């Protein structure tokens, strides 16, 4: 009998396992693929600040970045290359937006960049010190080294007499950290859209002094001598595809690898000349996002029975969260979007503290916020 059963061994599930295990809770971690076999294994994994005038979204990202970067450096320094990032203006962040942001940075002109490396193209940008690239699989393995791992494809949940059971595995609490996988209970207010992506790892004789970001990112030379270039973004919205398997096994994408790799390499070459380039490996995955782009953590509100009990919620009646109906001892952490390694430890710590000590969850990432929003639209 475990204290917690966690379904999904990506950045979200592994970070949850870590923080709960630190509080002496026993953990069974379940995944149909393995540790970091989903989006987390495909991630760049770049940890960069979000520039721009301060708002609730970039404040969350930047708070998570500060926390998680520091956390990874203590957890496994050998899996972290913290050399900063050069942010080059693009359509999302034009020159004006970049120059007026709230985080400390240094403007680097093209002359200055050429002085640093003759391989830089004619670019300029803003340099942020607090940025890194990490080894996603090593991090996830380190986070879960004290947890029991079971490789299972969970089709349904059984709950009886206060106990969740999956095959022979039993636990009092359950955490859904499934990424784009079909949710094991109905959470209609959490509408996950997968955003497919590809990253390539390459070898080159060029020394890249820091990460560079303009629509895509080129990493600095990592501990293992490779560079990561990522990532492409392709939404699944229109195709209405359900992610039943990993992208690596998804026939829909088998033919586009070459094209997407070529696009990435071309975009990278517009930033810095990479000499003696050799593609080492291609990684694919699907990011889980919801419309607001905020991630989501908390107890799982039972949508149907909450609305049955309080139908007037639909008309805007304010019913406090503690009066809603919840699935018993069930929690979710999902919709980490393109920043799963920035959010993972930060959100997992908040959720673990909430589960164990009833510490509050910030409203903007709470399950309740999305529940009320969806119910009022229903």
- Site residues (vs ligand FAD, CB under 6 A): 7-13, 30-33, 37-40, 42-46, 153-154, 177-179, 181, 184, 197-199, 230-231, 285-288, 334, 336-342
Residue with Cβ nearer ligand FAD (105 or 200): 200
65 Ramachandran zone, left/alpha/beta (phi>0; psi -120 to 50): alpha
Residue with Cβ nearer ligand FAD (103 or 319): 103
Least gap, CB of 112 to ligand FAD (angstroms)? 26
Sequence-ordered alpha helix ranges (H) in the chain = 11-22, 39-42, 56-75, 95-99, 110-116, 136-143, 257-269, 303-309, 340-357, 367-377
Least gap, CB of 284 to ligand FAD (angstroms)? 7
- Give yes or no for a contact between 70 and 62, defined as CB atoms under 8 angstroms apart: no
Least gap, CB of 232 to ligand FAD (angstroms)? 7
> What CA–CA distances, in Å, run from 59 to 53, 54, 104, 215?
10, 6, 14, 21
Report the C-alpha gap between 206 and 276 in whole angstroms: 8
Which pairing describes strands 2-7 and 169-176: parallel, antiparallel, or unpaired?
parallel
Residue with Cβ nearer ligand FAD (123 or 333): 333
Least gap, CB of 361 to ligand FAD (angstroms)? 17
Residue with Cβ nearer ligand FAD (114 or 170): 170
Q: What would the two tokens of residue 235 be?
A: 């939404």
Rg of the chain on CA atoms, in Å = 21
Residue with Cβ nearer ligand FAD (220 or 338): 338
DSSP summary character for residue 350: H
Least gap, CB of 131 to ligand FAD (angstroms)? 11
Closest by CA position to 164, among listed 156, 155, 173: 173
Least gap, CB of 80 to ligand FAD (angstroms)? 13
Residue with Cβ nearer ligand FAD (41 or 125): 41
Least gap, CB of 335 to ligand FAD (angstroms)? 8
Residue with Cβ nearer ligand FAD (123 or 342): 342
Least gap, CB of 42 to ligand FAD (angstroms)? 4
Closest by CA position to 13, among listed 254, 186, 228, 179: 179
Buried b (16+ CB within 10 A) or exposed e, 223-257: eeebbbbbbbeeebeeeeeebeebbbeeeebeeee
- Give yes or no for a contact between 297 and 350, defined as CB atoms under 8 angstroms apart: yes
Closest by CA position to 133, among listed 261, 223, 264, 234: 223
Least gap, CB of 210 to ligand FAD (angstroms)? 15
Q: Which residues on neighbouring strands pair with residue 46, listed in sequence order?
A: 133
Residue with Cβ nearer ligand FAD (12 or 313): 12
Least gap, CB of 68 to ligand FAD (angstroms)? 9
Closest by CA position to 84, among listed 203, 219, 192: 219
Residue with Cβ nearer ligand FAD (306 or 338): 338
């Amino acid at each position: 009998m475990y204290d917690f059963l966690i379904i999904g061994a990506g950045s979200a599930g592994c970070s949850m396992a870590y923080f709960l295990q630190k509080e002496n809770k026993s953990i069974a971690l379940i995944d149909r693929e393995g540790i970091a076999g989903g989006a987390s294994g495909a991630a760049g994994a770049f940890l960069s600040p979000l520039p721009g005038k301060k708002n609730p979204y970039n404040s969350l990202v930047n708070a998570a970045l500060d926390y998680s970067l520091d956390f990874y450096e203590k957890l496994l320094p050998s899996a972290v290359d913290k050399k900063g990032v050069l942010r080059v203006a693009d359509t999302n962040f034009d020159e004006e937006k970049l120059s007026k942001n709230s985080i400390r940075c240094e403007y680097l002109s093209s002359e200055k960049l050429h002085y640093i490396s003759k391989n830089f193209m004619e670019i300029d940008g803003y340099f942020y010190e607090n940025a890194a690239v990490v080894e996603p699989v090593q991090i996830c393995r380190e986070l879960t080294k004290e947890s029991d791992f079971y490789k299972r494809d969970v089709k349904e949940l059984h709950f009886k007499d206060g106990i969740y059971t999956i095959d022979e595995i039993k636990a009092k609490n359950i955490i859904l950290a499934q990424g784009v996988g079909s949710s094991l209970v109905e959470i209609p207010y959490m509408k996950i859209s997968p955003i497919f992506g590809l990253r390539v790892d390459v070898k080159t004789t060029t020394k890249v002094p820091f990460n560079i970001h303009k629509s895509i990112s080129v990493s600095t030379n990592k501990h293992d001598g490779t560079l990561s270039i990522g990532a492409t973004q392709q939404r699944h919205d229109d195709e209405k595809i359900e992610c039943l398997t990993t992208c690596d096994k998804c026939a829909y994408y088998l033919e586009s690898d070459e094209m997407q790799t070529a696009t990435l390499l071309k975009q990278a070459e517009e930033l810095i000349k990479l000499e003696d380039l050799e593609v080492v490996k291609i990684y694919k995955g699907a990011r889980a996002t919801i419309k607001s782009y905020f991630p989501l953590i908390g107890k799982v509100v039972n949508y149907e029975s909450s609305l049955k009990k309080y139908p007037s919620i639909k008309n805007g009646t304010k019913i406090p969260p503690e009066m809603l109906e919840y699935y018993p001892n069930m929690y979710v952490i999902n919709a980490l979007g393109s920043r799963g390694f920035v959010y993972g430890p930060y959100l997992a710590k908040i959720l673990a503290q909430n589960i164990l000590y009833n510490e509050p969850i910030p409203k903007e990432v709470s399950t309740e916020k999305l529940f009320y929003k969806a119910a009022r639209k229903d």
